[in-house]
Structure 1
């Protein structure tokens, strides 16, 4: 195996981020911006593994001398790197580089079945129609001049740079990239509300790139706890995105995690024997209003997730909620989920499920967020917080919070500042607006009052004293907005299929 000859030098955060963005730019033209992540992240991770192997090899030599055996040296290495599979072996291949890269990545995954299975995704590196040799070499050469070992970068830097690139992909590519990325400030707020603690078992049933799981670990560390005591679990249906989640966790110096790929509704894989595993914290920003999500088998779900009823076949929002509530530990469990406002007032089957959940007294808070925070949707969203055991002063009540005015305007997306996040978090935990600036409104509402409104949770009914007619108009407008977005998505999918079939507009 040939070791890299690049000299190690400590990188700044800006240099690292510039390198990552240059890697993305190397793909412009032959690769759709929405697919950049599938190419850049595996190459970054491969370089990181190789540079760390070199670093660990040097440590082994320092500790044991030049005569060490492969068996003894293996104890120094985080991952096994088979002969011929180092970064230098690939970058030194002048022709058919994609074939060599594909071979190396497959062998690395095979050599580390318990930790790296599927981590590099499913890119066909040897397909020069998709990725020309010139573009691949430009991508590889972007990383050739930097070292990613512990002497050059630390986990915080790598993790932050990784999140930077996720954000940049989402901004550059809109909905296609935004589907797997939740804005950091939203994640930060939701984690603060759920208050993860050392030793907790955490799960995200729609984990995307792993940002929610990583934020729980950062929150525990910032509070003075040991994040390595957390047991992090995620399920993600998309192969590329589940691979990105694994890479993301490793690059944040997190190793005790389980990321599984599959359909959470039809084939949940976070199991304890034949039952769903239970967790202290269940957190998610799942895809909104899924159609064809699996309603036909929900009534007889073997995991008991239909306790509150069967959601409509054309909208899986309450299926996510029911799944998450089923996986919440009795006593200590907390659930936090991002949802469209429609779950607060939709009728028919969804309305009956909402009623049953409210009667169970698991819902602690409804928090309406500012508009236009997400890359993947422009519809208003809210946070729903559930607890297996609510505080005594909130039993039989739901905390309603309108935080729609707490944001910083942006050109494409709005954001929430750290002050906004802290204000909303403090209001939730204390049950009052502590900043006194009028940016928030909140109220603890008795379940009897909610029942009197037909178990409608529209925030305006309780905080703005809207009449039934006014609330109905607002709900109709929100439903219309959701329907328009669904139509736009369907038209986009149709256009892509027509293009793939050779029909040009």
Structure 2
């Protein structure tokens, strides 16, 4: 039988999502499906729609040549169906052949047993939205569902309100995040059992076999730790939650010291810090959304932490932007790096691990096969090994949680990378990796002694100024790259332009000059403004390649206009990511978007690599952001103090000490 295998009727699809037929959402989705399909609910392979197109109906997605099926959420299904059946102008959507028939051949799946891996690589006819790709390929390959930011924030706000008054606002995250993780573990475990049901016949049989053999699932969750059991608990809830967290950690040693750090039954001055009542309310709020791998984005913990930190803990002087990279930017970086099997990837300031997760998912997207309803790497495809270091204990714990839940081969450690890098070779030198992906804190300040007498010889290109560590981070990452390795790092825009055009020396410009003259910089991508959570300023992605594809050339991409307006933040649309990726991998100059410069041109512009300097858009003039202007003033003051100090030393040598006052 060609085409997609149909395994569920419309009614079965809806019943899987709603038990209450009076639910208004059920009635709405049902009416939409009825408008498209009519009232015929027989399971048939093909249907003729009102527009005359004949399609193989995708009620639930059956993967050719495999046992499993995967039901899409109705809203995702409808959105994707609309795009697959009615592509935009100029599109020949691959899911429908030119005759209007959806087939395995049309999808590129005939005889392959796997999904296509050519998104954005010269294929102009792929569905652009995640919903459409989920209809065609299944949700997991698209990195999970996307809970709207407003939905997430409202949910977290209600969670915080449920324990407001019981604990101080900066402590909200300490109670909310572990429970979100436990809820996510429970939902993913439930999905694991459901996937096994495809193989063993039904959920009851699969659940019984899992209890007998825990290795059947990617991790095992004791019955008392499953969310339904937690919701049923009515007394001694604080003690129960603490015991549950410890039981999960005992069952899964990788989570020891990560999930079991909070005591939900703790007291202060003889009184419970948070009583069972607020805890019960918090659990009910958290029960409103499902958090399986196909329900939310991979780094849902990072995004939740970002909101809680920004909303309730900014008074502590912390900044969420120190660790969280917007999802679309992380996807773009993974698409630029394109991990291959068996590679190693490193993030020296990994935060909640989002960049490493996206690299893992990109490898899974390219090489995974569907087994029991979910993507897995075949045994002959070596996984990506990821390494990360993070200095904030809370975000380190989240990175460990994220790696665990995605079954990633990861080594995540806590510590200060710049002063005490954790990953070292047997001879004591820095360990080196195939790929580096990072978003260090922009313009971080380290005293100059951090760079002086470095035992790892990381700063051979020059010492960065004390006012910004951007080129200190770049040099650490470069020293951590294998020969032939590649890195993509998110930085403040000034990192590629500060100091250029100045008379005399400038530390950042001089380091940048060394990188350019040694032909190490491959590309610079200017991002739109207002993407990042702790600033409205745009950022850049700097790509360094120890084995450049196009020697003595640098690709500059001005993507500052490629964004969709959002509240409170802008974001890259999927079509924008695809366009940037196509320009990068195609190495093309496109008017108003990109240009390719020679090293000689970079020298003529005094090593200024800002894309906006070379790629004009609508006659716009480059405007210096206020934050950048302040930083340049700080650098100028730092240089003045250094010059005064040197002059004072010379005058004292000449016996004229005291003639200069700094």
Q: TM-score, normalised by structure 1?
A: 0.75
Superimposed CA distance per residue, residues 55-108 of structure 1 (whole angstroms, 9 cap, x where no aligned partner): 879999958989x9x9x7455565576897776786676555334433442454
Report 1:20-419 matches (<5 A).
22=155, 25-28=158-161, 29-30=164-165, 36-49=172-185, 62=205, 73=213, 75-76=215-216, 97-106=237-246, 108-110=248-250, 112-113=252-253, 115-120=254-259, 122-127=261-266, 131-142=274-285, 155-157=293-295, 159=297, 162=300, 166=304, 169=307, 173=311, 176-225=319-368, 228=377, 229-251=383-405, 253-273=406-426, 274-292=428-446, 295-331=448-484, 333-347=485-499, 348-391=506-549, 394-419=550-575
2:595 maps to 1:443: yes
Q: 2:629 aligns with which of 459, 480, 499?
A: 480
SS at match of 1:330: strand
Distance 1:158 1:400, change over 3 A: closer
CA contact (8 A) 1:208 1:236 kept: yes
SS at match of 1:232: strand
**How far off its partner does 1:171 sit?**
10
Distance, in Å, in 1 between the alignment partners of 2:187 and 2:338 is 36
Distance 1:118 1:318, change over 3 A: farther
Moved more, 203-212 or 102-111: 102-111
Distance, in Å, in 2 between the alignment partners of 1:121 and 1:284 is 28
Report 1:426-437 matches (<5 A).
426-433=582-589
CA contact (8 A) 2:187 2:292 kept: no
SS at match of 1:260: strand
Distance, in Å, in 2 between the alignment partners of 1:135 and 1:156 is 29
Q: TM-score, normalised by structure 2?
A: 0.59
Distance, in Å, in 2 between the alignment partners of 1:401 and 1:46 is 41
Quote the RMSD (CA, aligned, Å): 4.1
Distance, in Å, in 1 between the alignment partners of 2:573 and 2:224 is 48
CA contact (8 A) 2:522 2:555 kept: yes
Whose radius of gyration is greater, 1 or 2? 2
Distance 1:82 1:424, change over 3 A: closer
Distance, in Å, in 1 between the alignment partners of 2:568 and 2:296 is 26
Distance, in Å, in 2 between the alignment partners of 1:32 and 1:381 is 34
Give the equivalent residue in structure 1 for 2:127. none
**How far off its partner does 1:337 sit?**
0.5
Superimposed CA distance per residue, residues 401-429 of structure 1 (whole angstroms, 9 cap, x where no aligned partner): 21111122234222221121122222222
CA contact (8 A) 2:341 2:384 kept: yes
Distance, in Å, in 2 between the alignment partners of 1:87 and 1:190 is 35
Superimposed CA distance per residue, residues 141-160 of structure 1 (whole angstroms, 9 cap, x where no aligned partner): 345688x7xxxx75333545
Superimposed CA distance per residue, residues 355-414 of structure 1 (whole angstroms, 9 cap, x where no aligned partner): 2222221111111111111111122211100001001xx312222221111122234222
Distance, in Å, in 2 between the alignment partners of 1:349 and 1:93 is 61
5+ residue gaps in structure 1?
A: 1-7, 487-505
Distance 1:79 1:16, change over 3 A: same
Give the equivalent residue in structure 1 for 2:50. none
**How far off its partner does 1:119 sit?**
2.3
Distance, in Å, in 2 between the alignment partners of 1:211 and 1:143 is 22
Moved more, 96-105 or 255-264: 96-105
Superimposed CA distance per residue, residues 325-372 of structure 1 (whole angstroms, 9 cap, x where no aligned partner): 1111212x1100010012122333222221222222111111111111
Distance, in Å, in 1 between the alignment partners of 2:533 and 2:311 is 9
Distance, in Å, in 2 between the alignment partners of 1:61 and 1:318 is 57
Pick 1 or 2: higher relative contact order, CA cutoff 8 A, min separation 6: 1
